[in-house]
């Protein structure tokens, strides 16, 4: 028989989701558990890679720290295959990300969870704009290298939530694009440079390298929705 004092296992449910945004349906994957500490929205400027083992590594790291995670493609397969400029359409991706945040706000299991966004590539610019537009919803932000400068000076200067930039020391965009964008922030901010091009999601090793700084920032800056149950060693 099980002890009546034994805590229930922390088990995530993984669900494929589709979110309506600007006359298209965005594919996503939601991992959630009843006692999640918060919600991390992880966005990509591609399509069809949600189940790729490389792309699943970072959500798994978030789950291990007891965060719900919504991984979302901001482009459709048609757009990725037919429109090479779609990944640079920051206004479009921004509006779609806002639609996804609104969708989450209406989900009973998600609407009370404090929310962070983790974005790379050109979706970093979309995330900057969403954070500037919805300061009451986006409470922490991480840009993984990428092109946050494409958000524009106005949105960058209006971001209120704690924001961390994680860049690769050898990232060719670092000096010309990422650093100037970082200097425009007026919020609590942090700059983390990792060896090589660690912020670019190009290998399991690179993702493992960014997982630690991501979780450190989120755990320190994102308000907790509920007390975290003690580990077995602390019980």
pLDDT tens digits, one per residue of 173-184: 788 899 999 999
> Would you kindly state where each structural domain of the chain is located, as residue ranges?
21-221
Kindly report the average pLDDT of the chain as a whole number. 86
- Looking at residue 234, its pLDDT comes to 42
How sure is the predictor about 146, in pLDDT bands with cuts at 50, 70 and 90? Answer: confident
- Which element (helix H / strand E) includes 138? strand 138-144
Residue 118 and residue 42 in contact, taking contact as beta carbons nearer than 8 Å: yes
List C-alpha distances in Å: 71 to 7, 122, 213: 28, 16, 19
The structure's pTM equals 0.88
Provide the 3-class DSSP secondary structure of residue 14: strand
The CATH number that domain 21-221 falls under is: 3.40.50.1820
pLDDT tens digits, 168-218: 888 877 888 999 999 999 999 999 998 865 445 566 777 788 899 999 999
Q: Is the pLDDT of residue 3 over 60?
A: no
- CA atoms of 217 and 68, how far apart (whole Å): 16
Contacts of residue 197, Cβ cutoff 8 Å, sequence gap at least 6: 145, 168, 170, 171, 206
| Ramachandran area for residue 94 (φ above 0: left; ψ -120 to 50: alpha; else beta) | alpha
**Pairing, β 24-32 against β 138-144:** unpaired
Mean pLDDT over residues 105-128, rounded? 94
Say which residue, 50 or 149, is predicted with more confidence: 149
Mean pLDDT over residues 86-94, rounded? 95
DSSP classification of residue 85: T
Residue 100 and residue 122 in contact, taking contact as beta carbons nearer than 8 Å: no
């Amino acid at each position: 028989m099980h002890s009546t004092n034994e805590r229930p296992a922390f088990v995530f449910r993984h669900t494929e989701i589709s979110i309506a945004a600007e006359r298209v349906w965005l594919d996503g994957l939601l991992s959630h558990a009843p006692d999640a500490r918060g919600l991390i929205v992880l966005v990509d400027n591609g399509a069809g890679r949600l189940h790729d083992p490389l792309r699943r590594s970072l959500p798994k790291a978030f789950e291990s720290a007891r965060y719900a995670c919504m991984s979302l493609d901001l482009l459709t397969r048609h757009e990725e295959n037919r429109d090479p400029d779609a990944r640079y359409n920051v206004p479009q991706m921004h509006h779609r990300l806002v639609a996804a945040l609104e969708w989450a706000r209406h989900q009973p299991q998600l609407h009370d969870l404090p929310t962070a966004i983790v974005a790379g590539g050109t979706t970093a610019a979309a995330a900057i704009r969403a954070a500037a537009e919805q300061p009451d919803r986006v409470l922490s932000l991480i840009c993984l290298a990428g092109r946050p400068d494409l958000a524009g000076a106005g949105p960058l200067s209006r971001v209120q939530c704690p924001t961390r930039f994680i860049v690769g020391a050898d990232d060719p965009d670092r000096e010309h694009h990422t650093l100037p964008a970082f200097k425009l922030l007026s919020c609590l901010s942090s700059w983390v440079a990792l060896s090589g091009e660690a912020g670019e999601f190009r290998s399991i090793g690179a993702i493992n390298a960014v997982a630690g700084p991501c979780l450190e920032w989120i755990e320190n800056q994102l308000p907790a929705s509920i007390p975290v149950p003690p580990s077995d060693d602390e019980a």
